[in-house]
Amino acid sequence: MSGGMIIVTFFILLMIGIPVITSLGVVSAIYLISLDMSPILIVQQMLNSMDKFTLLAIPFFIMAGGLMEVGGISREIVNFSKKLMGPLPGGLALVVILASMMFASMTGAGAATCAAIGSIMLPEMKREGYDESFSSALQSTAGIFGPIIPPSILMVIYAVATDTSVGDMLLAGVIPGIVMGLILIVVTMRLCINRGYKGEGRFSLIEIGKSFVGAFWALLTPVIILGGIYSGFVFVNRKMGHILIENWASCKKN
């Protein structure tokens, strides 16, 4: 099966309404079968590629984001961001950016960041007179921090697929994520000044301290994750996990 036929088949599947991920899988399977590869071998290779402990990070990151949203931790992050950025011009818009950066550093998912922070901030920005299109565009843009600022689900997937160090991949997203956040804050503040969006409240070190205490454990999440990776604690526990599984398997045989 030629490369041109693969592309044509892929677009035909898309045009008849088959989802992208299913279309990719079908085209890949057709191509492999055309090479006279056994379907059993294809399935075995797919399972072997997914049989990696590292991929367990993905459901755990998603679960962490869900627990934070349901448990009200995202609200604590928003409150802390308000105390820091609220009094500045366009304070609520800046809160969206800062809170999204913080939440992204705990979940690693852009969609979770938009859902958790947007569900809180968008109605509030609407009540304060912010343009709905501006608010939605800002929250959508701030969601990009999810795949960049560690821990990032996409970086974990890339590291597993390319046999790259997960720790190095996560660390590589720290500086770009912070720089992008600062640039977005400057641009947003400029737009808010031009649109006449003002801040609310005033700076208070006491209030900032109280809100920091409420969000402390949430803010500690990326420190625990990256600290565990680079201190070797996570690696040691992964080895222990292998040992426990092997012992359990041998006991089961006996």
**Whether residue 127 sits in one domain with residue 33:** no
Residues 6-35, mean pLDDT to the nearest whole number: 84
22 vs 166: which has the higher pLDDT: 22
* φ, ψ at 157 (rounded to 5°): -60, -45
Looking at the structure, do residues 61 and 34 belong to the same domain, yes or no? no
Q: Where are the alpha helices (DSSP H) in the chain?
A: 3-15, 20-34, 39-50, 57-71, 73-85, 91-107, 110-127, 132-142, 153-162, 166-172, 174-195, 205-214, 216-219, 221-231, 233-253
Task: Decide: helix, strand or coil at residue 43.
Answer: helix
Q: Which of 26-35, 55-64, 131-140, 196-205 has the lowest mean pLDDT?
A: 55-64
Average pLDDT for the chain: 78
Answer yes or no: do 30 and 107 share one domain. Answer: no
Domain span at 34: 3-51
pLDDT band at 234 (very low <50, low <70, confident <90, very high): low
155 shares its domain with 93:
yes
Looking at the fold, whether 101 and 163 belong to one and the same domain comes out as: yes
- Specify if 251 maps to a domain: no
For the whole model, what pTM was predicted?
A: 0.68
Residue that wins the pLDDT comparison between 222 and 101: 101
> Quick one: tokens of 163?
């046999």
Q: Domain count for the chain, please give it.
A: 2
Kindly state the average pLDDT of the residues 217-241: 64
Closest by alpha carbon to 204, among 27, 124, 110, 86? 86
* pLDDT tens digits along 152-201: 888 888 887 787 777 788 788 888 888 998 999 999 988 888 888 887 77
Same domain? 95 vs 190: yes
Q: Is the dihedral of CA 126, 85, 69, 54 positive or negative?
A: positive
Q: How does residue 2 score in pLDDT terms, banded at 50, 70 and 90? A: low
Residues 85 and 185 in one domain: yes
